Amino acid sequence: MTTTPVHIPVMLERTLELLAPALDVPGSVLVDATLGLGGHAEAALERHPGLHLVGLDRDTDALARAGERLAPFGDRVDLVHTVYSGIRDALAGLGIDQVTAVLFDLGVSSMQLDEAERGFAYAQDAPLDMRMDRTTGITAATVLAEYSEAELRRIFYAYGEEKLAPRYARRIVEARVEHPLERSSQLVELIAQATPRAVQRAGHPAKRVFQALRIEVNGELAALEAALPAALDALAVGGRIVVLAYQSLEDRIVKHELASRTRSTAPAGLPMELPEHSPEFRLLVRGAELADEAERARNPRAIPVRLRAAERLKEAA
């Protein structure tokens, strides 16, 4: 019996509904590029007996727990320790040329949020680590200790969309002269003291700073910008992709990439579209879908989600 904690996968039914036509074909292969605890993957394997799963995750703890959960499926599962931008190399290493489906469930995982010692949650005191892969890379504490005021201001603006970025960056640089910022409670207290009361009433003042640090530490946006084209290129004709994004920066990247792949390349003014100019993909949903009210009430982590999906229509020219 597995000891893996069971979390509710976000938009599970809608995700599997959109992927189903691609999971039912003979020899189907699903790449879960953000495996986490394996909730989406387990449900897909149960419902599609012919499906083979390739699960990717940079978090070795998540891979171990997902491995326990998915062990009953035996050789129908391959797990790979990699950032999702390594999807091309992961598939090549398994001898897989094309896949029929890809899933991205972006952002920080339930496990990472729930384990206080990981330092992702501003509501819990812990060392400021924030690495999704604790085997490599710099920690959030290192960023706070070594980045210049200008660099801190940049990441708070760019990755947290934080209007008070200059104020927070200045206070951090001033504070670290006296003592290093090594725990989340220290950073939360500093931000709270630097935040005007009127702004504090609009939500937790540390939320955007913690998001910015997490994205910087893990290189999340750069990885996503590399991963999406690679994932789309790996899809066979008829293959489908579903992406769940939880903040506007991720969703903007997904929206832009899918828009570029679903647009005709025909020059303006042509009386008719030639086959070679027709789009490679078609969108499966209009805009970004949200979780319904029932799921949002049942699972608060579904509140910010934005789902986008597409299907491959033809091979690249």
- Alpha carbon distance 70, 37 (integer Å): 9
Residue 246, marked binder:
no
Residue 112, marked binder:
yes
- Per-residue exposure over 81-94, b if at least 16 CB sit within 10 Å of its own CB, e if not: ebbbbbbeebbeee
Residue 39, marked binder:
yes
Are 85 and 223 contacting, i.e. CB atoms less than 8 angstroms apart? yes
Residue 38, marked binder:
yes
Residue 125, marked binder:
no
Residues 6+ apart with CB under 8 A from 72: none
Residue 57, marked binder:
yes
Residue 105, marked binder:
yes
Residue list for the binding site: 38-40, 57, 84, 105, 112
Residue list for the binding site for S-adenosyl-L-methionine: 38-40, 57, 84, 105, 112
